[in-house]
Amino acid sequence: MRFIVSPTAKSWIKVDPLSHFPIQNLPFGMAEVDEENVMAVTRIGDFLVDIYRLIDEGFLPLEELLETDGFSDITREQSTQLRKALFDLFREGNPKLRDNSKLKKEALIPVSELNMVLPMPVGAFVDFYSGINHASNVGKMFRPDMPPLLPNYRHLPVGYNGRASSVVPSDVPIFRPKGQTKAADAESPSFGPTRELDFELEMGFFLAEGNDFGEQIPIERAEGHMLGLCLVNDWSARDVQRWEYQPLGPFLAKSFATSVSPWVVPMDAIEPFRVIGPKQDPEPLPYLQPSGPSHFDICLEVAIQTEAMSAPQVISRTNARELYWSFAQQLAHQTSNGTPTESGDLYASGTISGVEPGSFGSMLELAWRGQKPLVMQETGEERAFIEDGDVVSITGYCEGKGYRVGFGTLSNQVAPSL
C-alpha cells in the first residue's frame, strides 16, 4: 500500500516553496507538551499538527494511536492510512478543518511554541559503513600502503551494533567524551577528554515493523518495514577510536552520542526521488540484489558555527545517492542471519561523502586528519576537529519542481566534558 502525493497538490495552509514541509511531505514526529507528556505531530509549513487532538475529534483514523507510545506500534500500512487522511484534511479546497476556527486554532500550533523530542523510542541502534567514498578516504589515511577498501566491502554492508541509550534528539548538548588515548610518541596511554571530536553526516531509517526470531526480511520487502528516513549525526572521538578499535571495532569512541533529526519522513514522500545508486561491482549475492533503483536523491549539507560567529558556515554539501549500499540492502543483510528486529529500531547509513573535498561527511576527511584545517571565514578561526561551544548543523531535502520534501535541521552544540 502506497500513497504518493501529486507534485502539483496544494494545501489551504500557505507554504513557502523553499519550506521542507509542504503537503507532499507530512512527516511524523513527537513534540513535548510538558515534562511528563508528549504528543504525536506532523508538520505542514510553519505549523505543527496535533494528531492526537484530530483523532480524538474524529477527523483522523487510528484511535488506537491514542493508547500507544506515539508511532512505535503502528504498521507501515497504518502509517500510510494516517498520512492519506492528513493529506485529505489539509488539501486545498477541503473546508472540514479549514472552516472550523476553534479546532483549527487548537490543533495547529506554531513550530516555535513546542520542543521536538525523539520521533520514536529507540529500541536498538545499528550503524552501517555504506558510504564508499568515506570508507575509501579512511583507508587512504590509515592504510596508505594497502588498497583503501578491505576485501569484504563490496560484498556486504559492513556495520556494528551501537548504543540505543545514547541516541538523542536535535538541540540536546553533546558532552565531550573522555577516553583512553595513546599518542604516537608516548610509552603508555592516558585518560582524558578527546582532542579529536568529530561529526559524521549520515541518513537513518526507523522500522515500523520488525521480524520474528529466525526469520529474514527479503530485500524486496525491506522498505515495507520502514516507517521512514531521518538525519543522523553519529559523533566520533577519533583519537579514542584509533587506540581502542582493534581487533573488535568501534566501542567507547562511538557510543557516547548519536543525534537524530525530529522528523521521520515517510518512504512514500521520498518515492518520487528514487534514483539508481553507484554501480555495484562485483554483483551482490542474490539476497542483496535489488529489483530496481533503490537509492534516493537527497541533498545534504553540514554547517558549523563557533561561539565567536554570528551565523553558521556551510562546510560540506553532498547527496545520499553517494551511498554504495542502499537502505533496503542494509536491512536485508541485518536480518539475513535471522536477527529479530522491532518497531522503533534505528539504522544509520554510515558517513556519506562525495568525491570532492567540499563534499566530505566528516572533519576527519574535510581537514584530512588535521593536516588541512578549515578556516571560518567570518572570524579566521581554524578547525581540525570540533571544539567546545561549536554548533554542528545538518540539513537535507529532496528537490521537486516548485517544492521540497525535507528533513528540517539536526543541530547540536558541543559542551565541555562532565
Selection from 297, 172, 184 nearest residue 235 by Cα: 172
Neighbouring C-beta atoms of residue 115, cutoff 10 Å: 13
Q: Active site residue: 134, 225, 295, 333, which one?
A: 134
In terms of Cβ atoms closer than 10 Å to its own Cβ (0-12, 13-18, 19+), residue 93 is exposed
CA distance 49 to 21: 12
CA distance 257 to 163: 8
Sequence-ordered list of residues with C-beta below 8 angstroms from that of 110, at least 6 positions apart, any chain: 46, 47, 48
Say how many Å lie between the first and final Cα of the chain, rounded.
48
Chain centre distance of CA 41: 18
134 is catalytic: yes
**Which grid coordinates belong to 191?**
585518560
Sign of CA dihedral 325, 329, 333, 334: positive
Annotated active-site positions, please? Answer: 134
